[in-house]
Amino acid sequence: MTAASILALTDDAEARDLLLELATTEGFGVRCAATEIEAANVLHLERPGLVLVDLDMPGRAGAKFLRTLRQGPYRDIPSIAITASNDPMLTISIDAPVYFKPGLDGLGTALERLFWPETDRTR
Q: Determine whether domain 5-120 maps to CATH 3.40.50.2300.
A: yes
| Ramachandran area for residue 27 (φ above 0: left; ψ -120 to 50: alpha; else beta) | left
**CA of 18: how far to CAs of 14, 22, 68, 75, 89, in Å?**
6, 6, 26, 26, 25
Residue 123 binned pLDDT confidence (cut-offs 50, 70, 90): very low
Q: 95 pLDDT exceeds 80?
A: no
pLDDT confidence of residue 121: 47
Q: 104 pLDDT exceeds 80?
A: no
The model carries a pTM of 0.78
Q: What is the mean pLDDT of residues 93-98?
A: 73
Contact 9, 33 (CB under 8 A): yes
